[in-house]
Structure 1
Amino acid sequence: MSEKKPTSIKRDPDRGKLGGVCAGIANYWGWELWLVRIIAISGLFLSGSLFFWGYIALWIVLDKQAPAKDWQSQVTAQPVHFEIKSQVWKAGQPPRRAFQDIKATFDNLETRLQKLESYVTSKQFSIAREINKL
Structure 2
Amino acid sequence: MSRRRGELYRDPKRGKVAGVCAGLSDYFNMELWLVRIIFISAVLLLGGPFFIVAYIACWFILEVKPETLPNQSKTETVNTEKPIEVKSKVWQAGEPPRRALHDLKEQFDRIDGRLQAMEKYVTSPEFTVSREINKL
TM-score of the aligned structures, taking structure 1 as reference length? 0.58
Task: Answer whether contact 2:90 2:100 (CA < 8 A) is retained.
Answer: no
Q: CA deviation at 1:51?
A: 0.5
> Does residue 1:60 correspond to 2:60, yes or no?
yes
* Alignment root-mean-square deviation, CA: 3.6
Extract unaligned runs of 5+ from structure 1: 114-134
Q: CA deviation at 1:21?
A: 0.2
Letter in 2 for 1:25: L
Say if 1:73 and 1:9 are closer, same or farther in 2 by CA, change over 3 A.
Answer: closer
Q: CA deviation at 1:103?
A: 1.2
Partner of 2:33: helix, strand, or coil? helix
Partner of 1:103: helix, strand, or coil? helix
Task: Answer whether contact 1:14 1:67 (CA < 8 A) is retained.
Answer: no
Counterpart among 65, 70, 79 of residue 74 in structure 1: 79
Letter in 1 for 2:48: G
TM-score of the aligned structures, taking structure 2 as reference length? 0.57
Higher relative contact order (CA 8 A, sep 6+): 1
Rounded to whole Å, the distance in 2 between the matches of 1:48 and 1:63 is 24
Deviations 1:24-55 (A, max 9, x none): 00001100000000011111112120110000
Say if 1:18 and 1:81 are closer, same or farther in 2 by CA, change over 3 A.
Answer: closer
Q: CA deviation at 1:86?
A: 4.8
Task: Answer whether contact 2:25 2:35 (CA < 8 A) is retained.
Answer: yes
Letter in 2 for 1:42: S
Rounded to whole Å, the distance in 1 between the matches of 2:104 and 2:29 is 28
Q: Which 4+ stretches in 1 moved above 3 angstroms? A: 80-89, 96-99, 107-110
Say if 1:15 and 1:7 are closer, same or farther in 2 by CA, change over 3 A.
Answer: same
> Does residue 1:22 correspond to 2:27, yes or no?
no
Letter in 1 for 2:38: I
Extract unaligned runs of 5+ from structure 2: 69-76, 114-136
Task: Answer whether contact 1:21 1:58 (CA < 8 A) is retained.
Answer: yes
Query: Equivalent residues in 2 for 1:28-39 (5 A)?
Result: 28-39=27-38
Highest Rg: 1 or 2? Answer: 1
Percentage identity across paired residues of the two chains? 35
Say if 1:88 and 1:26 are closer, same or farther in 2 by CA, change over 3 A.
Answer: farther
Aligned pairs, number: 101
Rounded to whole Å, the distance in 2 between the matches of 1:9 and 1:98 is 36
